[in-house]
Amino acid sequence: MTTGPESRPEPTREANSDAPSRERLDVDARAMSALDRLHGLMREDFAEYGGGEAFLKWLRTDPEDAGPRKWGTTMEIRYTLTIPEFKEGYGMMWRQASFRHRINYWYFTWLGLVMGLWILLMALVLFGTPHPNQPFVLLLVVFGLAAVSTPWRYRGLIRRNYRLQNLNTELSVSANSEGITVKRANKDAVSHYGWTAIERFVQSKNLFILFPGRLQFIPVPKRAMPPEQQQEFRALLEAHIPAAGPRNRAASAAVS
């Protein structure tokens, strides 16, 4: 009789069978369970960064870069645009357009007033001559008054466009790595723009202004965002929209 540890019977396997033993199945099950738990944890972490791809981009980002880290999540900004803010964005839109449009903007803001005063002065001088050409003087007065009134007509145009676009209702701007969406609180209109559709942007002291086209603009008031969100929104714009050229930066500085 021999002594020693009791021998364990070998796991039974069918002849010529490739099926793993019960012990092997138990080991694989424990390994898969651990992997499932690890995957669940990483999935939660990835979700905070907007997915695995966004997480890898974050890993490749310079640690000294102060830009946002979670662009996969959607940033939402709610505000009701005021007439002065709309006027500022409207004027910036004209100044960002072609030279012809900039001349038109200058005429309606200050050039028309200067020209009108000069024409009225000329009409007054001619009227004081011994034999004035009254029809011509009257024509000068009409042109002068029309030119002088351009700043007031421009303000009326601003207010009319503000009312027509229903900008006195709450607006919601949602932005993430895919693009930006603008909608009204009553959901009667929604506009979505991919980042490639935004040609440029500028910022002033009060606004971020995005330009989907030469005569289109999206004003986003800075007052609707805390300072941290302003920095994140600016970094998001800089990452997806081409940098403003010298003329754009000069126009932005002019309203700062």
pLDDT of residue 128: 87
Whole-prediction pTM: 0.61
The residue behind tokens 């709450």 is: 170
| Mean pLDDT for the chain overall | 76
**String of b and e for 158-190 (b: at least 16 CB within 10 Å)?**
beeebeeeebeeebebbbbbeebbbbbeeeeee
pLDDT of residue 78: 93
**String of b and e for 207-246 (b: at least 16 CB within 10 Å)?**
bbbbbbeeeebbbbbbeebeeeebebbbbbbeebbeebee
pLDDT of residue 255: 43
pLDDT digits (tens, 9 = 90+) for 145-196: 999 999 999 999 999 999 988 888 899 999 988 899 988 877 677 888 999 8
pLDDT of residue 51: 54
Which DSSP string corresponds to the chain? ---SSPPPPPPP--TT--PPPHHHHHHHHHHHHHHHHHHHHHHHHHHHTTSHHHHHHHHHS-TT--S-S-TTSPEEEEE---HHHHHHHHHHHHHHS-HHHHHHHHIIIIIHHHHHHHHHHHHHHHHTSSS--HHHHHHHHHHHHHHHTHHHHHHHHHHHHHHHTTTTS-EEEEE-SSEEEEEETT-S-EEEEEGGG--EEEE-SSEEEEEEETTEEEEEEGGGS-HHHHHHHHHHHHHHSPPP-HHHHHHHHHT-
How far is it, in rounded angstroms, from Cα 200 to Cα 211? 6
Residue numbers in the chain where pLDDT is lower than 70:
1-73, 187, 242-256
At the topology level, CATH places domain 75-84+169-254 in: PH-domain like (2.30.29)
pLDDT of residue 164: 87
